[in-house]
Amino acid sequence: MTCVICGRKTDDQYCQLHHSAYMNLVKGFEVWKHALGINWRDYLKTIAVNPYTGKWAVEVCKDLLAREERL
């Protein structure tokens, strides 16, 4: 298998770098959800445009949002 974002070899949908970014997004969401009452989609949109968000996290946000749009 290859990472759906960058094409690196992986055993999952994301490579280790994008998987780590995904896990950080999940952890961060819990804090944002309790503090601001924000939903997952709005959280991803906010994080994706934040200039302090890392490249891999932005790529994961955009991938997740794109997948949601297709559902």
Q: Helix 40-49 vs helix 16-36: angle between axes, to the nearest 10 degrees?
A: 110
CB-neighbour burial class of residue 35 (10 A; exposed 0-12, middle 13-18, buried 19+): exposed
Q: How confident is the model at residue 70, as a pLDDT?
A: 67
Q: Considering only residues 9 and 70, tell me which one the structure prediction assigns the higher pLDDT.
A: 9
Of the pLDDT bands very low, low, confident and very high (cuts 50, 70, 90), residue 14 is very high
Q: How confident is the model at residue 68, as a pLDDT?
A: 84
pLDDT in tens, 16-69: 999 999 999 999 999 999 999 999 999 999 999 999 999 999 999 999 999 887
Check pLDDT > 60 for residue 71.
no
Average pLDDT in the 4-23 region?
96
